[in-house]
Amino acid sequence: MAVSFFKPIADASQFPKPRVPATPKFKFSALKLAKCVQGEVNDTLFTRNGRGAIGIAGTALKNTDSNVILIPAYHCPALVEPFIWLGYEIRFYPVNEDLSVDISMLERALTDDVSHCVVVRYFGFGQNNNEVIEFLHARPVKVIEDCAHSLFRFTDHFENSVNSVPQVDASICSINKILPTIDGGALYLKAPYHAQLNHISWVEEFKACAFIAGIPQALDKIKTWLKGKPETKAASMAESVENEDAHLRYFQPVDLTSASYRHTKFIFCHSDLDTIKAKRRANFAYLTQHINNPAVGQPLFSQLTDDDVPYVIPFLLTDDKHFSTLRKQGIQILRWEEVAISDCSVSQEYRSLLIQIPCHQQLTQHQLDSLVSTFNQLRA
C-alpha cells in the first residue's frame, strides 16, 4: 500500500522572525579544543543530514528479496521517505499517548513477513524503548534506532555500552538538532559497511565556516545600515539542491552519497557534551515548573529520568489555535504536521496539538522567562 502524508497545516513564512529560536547558535567559546568526544568515531559515518543516515542504513540492511518495515505512526516524513525511495513495503504501528509502545500491539503487527523495525527515541526521551529493543532482539528482524533527537544515546555506541540493552543493527542521529551546526547526520552500523561519501569543495567549506561564524550576516547588516534600506534576510546555507524525486518532499537521493561539512564533525567531536546535557536538563526543569496554564495545555512529560536529555519540551495543546498565537509572538515552536495517514488516533491528533518548545543550551534567562510569560498569558 502506498504511503500518503497529510499536507502541512501552517507555513513558516506566515510568522515573524523568532526572538526565541528553536535551535542554538554557534559560539566558538563553547568548544573544548583540548577535549574530544569519548570513544572512537572513525567508524561513524558523518552524513549531510539525518535522512541521509537513515537512507544509508536502509541500504546497508536491505535484503535481496523481501523488505517489510514497521515504523511508528507518529513521525516526521524525513524518517519515512528514504524507505519509500529504497522500495521497502512500509507499515505503521501505533504509539501510546505518552509516545511509548504497546508491545502487545507491536507483537500483533510483527507478522512473519516483517523484516525490519524502526524504534524512535522521541524528543530525547527514552519512553520504553529499551524494553522494545529487547523484545525485538529475540525476533528475526533488523532494528534501526532513530536517535535524531537523542545524540547522547547515540554516543553510547562508541563505547559499546548501552545500559545492557542489546545493540541495534543501526542507529542514526541528527547532529544539528542538538549542536549549533548547519548540517549533519551520523550513522552507527553494527556490521561493517563501506559507503563512499563525497565532501564539498574546500571553497564551499570555507563559505560555510564563514556563515556559521556570522560573517555574511554581519556584512549584510553593515551594508543595510550604510544604504539606509530595510534589512534583508541573509543568504541561507540550507540545502538548495533540486529534488531528484518529485514525489518526495524531504529526502533526496544525493543524500546517500553526501558527507557532512568537515567542520560539523569537528564541532561534534569537540563540543562540551556534559555542559550541554546539564543545561538542557536545567532548562527543561525551569520551563516545566514555571509554565502553568492548563487551560492552554501541558507538557507531555514533567519528569526526567537519569538518561533523558531533551531536544525540546513536547507540549500538548488543548486547541491548535494556540500554535499560531505563539509563533506570531516570536516563539519558534515546531510540530510534526505531515505524518502519514494511518489508523493511529494519537498520531492523527498530535499532528496539530503536540508542539515542541525550545529548551536548548543557548537560551538566556531572559528568553526562558519570556517563554514562561508568553505561555502563562495565553487565554483558552
Whether 306 maps to a domain, the answer reads yes
pLDDT confidence of 19, banded at 50, 70, 90?
very high
CA atoms within 13 A on the CB side of 88: 29
- Average pLDDT of the residues in 65-93: 97
Report the side by side order of strands in the sheet with 297-299. 297-299, 312-317, 354-358
Q: Please state, in angstroms and rounded to a whole number, the distance separating the CA atoms of residues 298 and 316.
A: 6
pLDDT of residue 211: 86
Which of the two residues, 239 and 277, has the higher pLDDT score? 277
Question: What are the pLDDT digits (tens) for 30-71?
Answer: 888 776 665 557 678 999 999 999 999 999 999 999 999 999
CA 32 to chain centre: 24
CA pair distance 70, 85, nearest whole angstrom? 16
Give the range of the structural domain holding residue 281, as residue numbers without chain letter. Answer: 273-376
Residue 380: pLDDT over 90: no
Determine, yes or no, domain membership for 355.
yes
Angle at the Cα of 230 from the Cα atoms of 225 and 231, rounded to 5 degrees: 70
3-state secondary structure at position 145: strand
Q: Is the pLDDT of residue 289 over 60?
A: yes
In a domain, 350, yes or no: yes
Listed residue (277, 290, 301, 239) closest to 96, CA to CA:
301
User: Between residues 130 and 219, which one has the greater pLDDT?
Assistant: 130
Query: pLDDT at position 242, please?
Result: 52
The CA distance from 335 to 11, in Å, is 11
> What mean pLDDT comes out for the span 222-251?
62
Quick check: 348 and 342 in contact, CB under 8 A? yes
How many domains does the chain contain in total?
A: 1
- CA atoms within 13 Å, Cβ hemisphere of 146: 28
- The set of residues, in sequence order, having a beta carbon less than 8 Å from that of 277 and lying 6+ positions away, is 152, 309
- Which pLDDT score is estimated for 367? 97
* Overall average pLDDT of the 309-333 stretch: 96
Model confidence pLDDT, tens digit, residues 138-185: 999 999 999 999 998 998 766 554 454 568 999 999 999 999 999 999
Q: What is the mean pLDDT of residues 302-321?
A: 96
**Range in 24-38, 268-282, 328-342, 356-370 with the lowest mean pLDDT:** 24-38
3-state secondary structure at position 70: strand
pTM, to two decimals: 0.90
Residue 154 is which amino acid?
F
Question: Rounded distance, CA 297 to CA 356, Å?
Answer: 12
CATH of the domain at 301: 3.90.1150.10
Q: Are strands 297-299 and 170-174 parallel, antiparallel or unpaired?
A: unpaired
Q: Does some domain include residue 345?
A: yes
**Is pLDDT larger for residue 211 or for residue 142?**
142
Looking at residue 234, its pLDDT comes to: 46
- Asked whether residue 101 is assigned to any structural domain, the reply reads no
What count of other Cβ atoms lies within 10 Å of the Cβ of residue 147? 27
Residue 300 lies in a domain: yes
pLDDT of residue 29: 79
| CB-CB contact of 297 with 317 (8 Å) | yes
pLDDT at residue 227, rounded to an integer: 72
| Average pLDDT score over residue span 96-116 | 97
User: Is residue 162 one of the residues assigned to a domain?
Assistant: no
pLDDT at 244 > cutoff 70? no
Residue 1's pLDDT is 62
Task: Identify the band that residue 299 occupies on the pLDDT scale cut at 50, 70 and 90.
Answer: very high
Cβ–Cβ under 8 Å, residues 115 and 43:
no
Q: Is residue 344 part of a domain?
A: yes
What pLDDT score does 38 carry?
A: 52
Coil, helix or strand at residue 317: strand
Tens-digit pLDDT profile for residues 352-368: 999 999 999 999 999 99
pLDDT for the residue 192: 86
